[in-house]
Amino acid sequence: MENIIDYIVRNKVFLIFSLVMIALGKVAGQSNHVTDTVAEEKLRVNASSATVFQWFRKIEEKKHIVLSYNSSVIDVSRTRRINFTGELTVKELLERILDEYEIRTIFIPPNKLVIQARELNEYYLNGTVFEEGSGERLYGAVVTLENRHGKQWYVISDENGGFKACLPEGKYTYNVSYMGYTPYSGQLDINQDRFVQAYLQPQLFEIDEIKVKSDRKVGELSELNPSNMLAFSGNDLFSQIWILPGVTSSLAGNNFQVDGGGNDENLFLLDGVPVYHPGHFNSLLPVFNGDAVKNIIFHKGFFPTRLEGRLSSVTEVNLKEGNKQEQAYTMTLDVPAASIVLEGPIVKDKLSYMVSGRRSWLDFFDKLFSEEEQLNHSSFDGNAKLSYSMSPVTSLHALVYVARDDYHLPLDEDVKESVLRWDNRVYQFSCRTRLGNVGSNISLFYSSHVNRASVDIIGFGEGGYVHSGIKSANLSTEFTYSVDRVYQARWGMKLSREIYDVAAFGEDTRTRHVPINQFSVFYDNSLHVTSRLSVQVGVHGVGYYPRRNPSYYSIQPRLSVKYFPGDKDLFYLNFSKMEQFYHCLKLNYWDLPTDFRMPSIGDYKPRTSEHYESGWKHFLDNGLIEVSAYYKTRRNLVALRPETYVEDDQWQEYIMTGKGDSYGIRFYFNGAWERWRMQVSYSYARSREWFDELAENGKMSSLQDIPHQDGIAISYRLGLHSLISAGGMLHSGKILEMDENFDPFPVPEFRTHRSPLNYRVDAGYSYRKSFGDKLLSLRFGLYNIIGNPSEEEILSYYSVHWKGHCLPYGSISFKF
């Protein structure tokens, strides 16, 4: 007993400490139990916005507790939106309110909840989007990142397929979607700077390529959206640009008019290089070989600041880079032409090539037809492209494009004389890269267009040829700088030297050369003011220096404001000033060197326009509704005088200058239901012009005045591999320049006569099936089952047709 007492005395300090720790452990256990109980208690939340302080007050009032926190760490004045209605635990609500912090809660009896917070570190996520199998870099892919609380971030891949996002540390689900490809998804743990690569699998049917994402953020990030980024493959009758409101076009994109503008007001860019006067004699033949095209981006209304040179539209066509994994070949035979595309790796995963060629073939059968039914024309184009991936963010590209259209007449059984020929050529070298927050694109290119015709055939002399054309050499640089997802700047410059070959005809047929130097710079800012408001503002400046003629300087501002009142609605306001330094008036349906082709020299000042537009988009679960209105000013327009017969190049006797405007309202619907898909467009648009020397005529309809325009396309999927489509258009007749005897109308009747209403109905069937790594595609149908298309369309189609100008259509394509 005595020994026990001595042991206790000697170790009393240890025993006291043990008893205290046991008691504290019980208290801590109770405290933890209480903490867990409070954190897991639920309260009702309605979707709304409030400051962090207001959310804290709401929790305190509903749960009768006091929240304790360090106001120097937590910004309580910041507004937070909870997109949820229902019950949440206190812990879940605090995590959503403080989603940019790592938090821990401790309950202190009787009614205090301590919030310990640490601001999350931010890291950069870089990546590149590729096509699976070929290694093709995809431009315009939408990358969605979502954290465990449901908060989402969006970015869009650039011209090099790259994207970049700044994210708080944490775990994310990311999805990558792109028109015509199966979406890609994966998981990410962001605890340091990361680099990812996404590979998307192509889908079989182009009809699925225009998918409208219902989330508003897609429209906020870029001008790329389903209403202007189009799938393009072969000779698809129902997914072309003409379905968009405000666009009047032949099927394959030739000679189209946008928002009341002329044919020459539309710029085509092939991998960023201007292609002057593209098109073919047969307007069912697409401008470029669809099997070699990666995507098409169509701009109208609002023009990105980097673009200039035309008033109505810019169409960006981007070619494939070539398969970097394996050799692939695509052969297509359709009614207008036959084509082949060869692509594959030279150095696997690094250096690839793509070569394509296409030629019309129905002219080989001219001998089987009567002289009235012969085609007498042929078309050829070819592309060659080398692409080298130095790294996932750096690539080099070299491009060659050639095209020729030839109209010939048989002199005897074996000899044909070329009477009209168009030639286009493009050569380009470019480098794209990204270093940190800065991306760059440097390009050196040369392009040319030559239009040649026999002078005796067109009635301006005997023997020889007259020609006109444009040659252009350019050096351009572009840079982008992005700060998180709040701000992005883009700037660049371009130096160019152009030589215009202007045809002189009449008693003396010759060509005069007009050299022009041009310098342009642009700067653009894109700012996300709030989560619901974004602004894009920029300016493009041009210095235009023709030899022995006055110089011109142009300042072209651009502005786009987008506001999202909710997750499914977008209101936008756009303004663009554009200037065009080239005038062209066609005297016939086909391009001729004797047409009025004139750079901005002498009395022909640059054409200018200011485009104002506002609209509303409503995102459906599987579609889109868009309504918009616009007004467009037009200055320094050129037109032929009334009662004019062009006999020589004395254009001052035939051409008058004036002003104009256009305005209209537009409607567009795009929807899908199970196997059905529909697109519908309508626009009411007016285009007017007025001239001082015809002041008594007032404001007259322009040649592009088409008040009513309707388009519709409906498709139904029959199964996994086939679908049927029907579509058509209806639009007001165009203004007539001549009467039925081909005589110009007198001054009082100038531009008062209109052709009848034009309409047509088409139908088609498509079948696509893969056999391992091989793909078979069949498509056939009928163009103009019923209708009365304009005479200019009928004249340029191939000679095989049925009663009422109903044309059979068919194609077969095999990729292996």
Could you tell me which residue, 355 or 453, shows the higher pLDDT? Answer: 355
pLDDT band for 37, please (50, 70, 90 cuts): low
Q: How far apart are CA 799 and CA 335, in angstroms?
A: 11
pLDDT value at residue 613: 96
- Top pLDDT among 729 and 517 is at 517
Among 121-135, 404-418, 628-642, name the one with the lowest average pLDDT: 404-418
- Short-list 470, 469, 473, CA closest to 443: 473
As a whole number of Å, the CA-based R_g of the chain is 33
A 10 A CB-CB count for 653 gives: 11
Look at residue 427 and tell me whether its pLDDT is greater than 60.
Answer: yes
What is d(CA 798, CA 806) in angstroms, rounded to the nearest whole number? 11
Q: What are phi and psi of 211, to 5 degrees?
A: -120, 130
Mean pLDDT, residues 206-227: 33
Beta strand residue intervals within 641-721, DSSP E: 655-673, 676-691, 700-701, 708-717
What is the share, in percent, of the chain residues with pLDDT greater than 70? 86
Per residue in 754-774, pLDDT (tens digit) is 999 988 888 888 888 888 778
Residue 258 has pLDDT above 60, yes or no: yes
Whether residue 129 is predicted with pLDDT greater than 80 in this model: the reply is yes
CB-count exposure of residue 618 (10 Å: 0-12, 13-18, 19+): middle
Q: Which pLDDT score is estimated for 686?
A: 95
Distance CA 136, CA 116 (A): 48
Specify the pairing of strand 247-248 against strand 377-391: unpaired
450 pLDDT higher than 90: yes
> Which span out of 402-406, 410-414, 784-788 was modeled with the highest average pLDDT?
402-406
Question: 464 pLDDT exceeds 60?
Answer: yes
- Contacts of 508 by beta carbon, 8 Å cutoff, 6+ apart: none
The DSSP code for 736 is P
DSSP 719: S
- Name the nearest CA neighbour of 358 among 383, 388, 377: 383
- CA–CA separation, 808 vs 763, rounded Å? 10
Quick one: which H or E segment has residue 51?
strand 48-51
With 0-12 / 13-18 / 19 or more C-beta atoms within 10 angstroms meaning exposed / middle / buried, residue 212 is: buried
Better pLDDT: 205 or 112: 112
Task: Return the minimum-mean-pLDDT range out of 85-99, 198-212, 224-238.
Answer: 224-238
DSSP string, 141-162: -EEEEEETTS-EEEEE--TTSE
Is it the case that residue 595 has pLDDT exceeding 80? Answer: yes
**Closest by Cα among 360, 388, 582 to 470:** 582
Lowest-pLDDT range of 95-109, 647-661, 723-737? 95-109
Predicted confidence band of residue 31 (pLDDT cuts 50, 70, 90): very low
CA–CA gap between residue 754 and residue 732 (Å, rounded): 9
Would you state the pLDDT for residue 301? 83
> What pLDDT score does 136 carry?
79
Q: Is residue 225 scored above 80 in pLDDT?
A: no
Instruction: Give the pLDDT confidence score for residue 754 in this predicted structure.
Output: 92
pLDDT value of position 3:
53
Percentage of the chain with pLDDT > 90? 31
Task: Tell me the per-residue pLDDT of 484-525, one tens digit each, with 9 for 90 and over.
Answer: 667 889 999 999 999 999 988 877 778 889 999 999 999 999
Six token digits for residue 708: 């009513």
- Mean pLDDT rounded to a whole number for the chain: 82
Where helices occur in 533-652 by DSSP H, the ranges are none
Q: Is residue 712 scored above 80 in pLDDT? A: yes
Q: Does the pTM of the predicted model rise above 0.75?
A: yes
Residue 435: burial class (beta carbons within 10 Å; 0-12, 13-18, 19+): exposed
Report whether pLDDT(30) > 60: no
pLDDT at 382 over 50: yes
DSSP annotation string for 318-386: EE----SSS-EEEEEEESSEEEEEEEEEEETTTEEEEEEEEEE-GGGGGGGS-TTT---EEEEEEEEEE
Q: Are 134 and 322 in contact (CB under 8 A)?
A: yes
Given a cut of 60, whether residue 160 has pLDDT beyond it is yes
In this prediction, residue 604 carries a pLDDT of 93
pLDDT in tens, 626-669: 999 999 999 999 999 998 888 888 898 999 999 999 999 999 99
Residue holding tokens 């297509």?
332
Least confident piece of the model among 353-362, 374-383, 557-566: 374-383
Residue 428 identity (one-letter amino acid): Q
Is residue 294 scored above 90 in pLDDT? Answer: no
Q: Which residue has the higher pLDDT, 667 or 620?
A: 667
- For residue 465, give the 3-state DSSP assignment: strand
CA–CA dist 198, 195 (Å, integer):
10
Q: What is the DSSP string of 291-328?
A: GGEEEEEEEESS--TT--S-SSEEEEEEE----SSS-E
Q: Which of the pair, 559 or 143, is modelled with greater confidence?
A: 559
Average pLDDT of the residues in 161-172: 84
Region 733-744: mean pLDDT is 85
Close Cβ partners of 719 (under 8 Å, ≥ 6 residues apart)? none
Q: What is the mean pLDDT of residues 593-607?
A: 92
Burial 779-806 (b: 16+ CB within 10 A, else e): bebbbbbebbbbeebeebbbbeeeeebb
pLDDT for res 192: 86
The tens digit of pLDDT for each residue in 59-86 reads 888 888 888 888 888 888 888 888 788 8
Is residue 20 pLDDT above 70, yes or no?
A: no
Q: What pairing do the DSSP bridges indicate for beta strands 142-147 and 337-347?
A: unpaired
Q: In which band, very low, low, confident or very high, does the pLDDT at 17 lie, cut at 50, 70 and 90?
A: very low
**What is the pLDDT at residue 490?**
93
* φ and ψ at residue 580, rounded to 5 degrees: -125, 125
pLDDT at 151 exceeding the cut of 70: yes
Task: Indicate if the pLDDT at residue 789 is higher than 90.
Answer: no
Are 142 and 114 within 8 A, CB to CB? no
Token pair for 723: 């679908």
Rounded Cα distance, 751 and 737, in Å = 7
Higher pLDDT, 518 or 101: 518
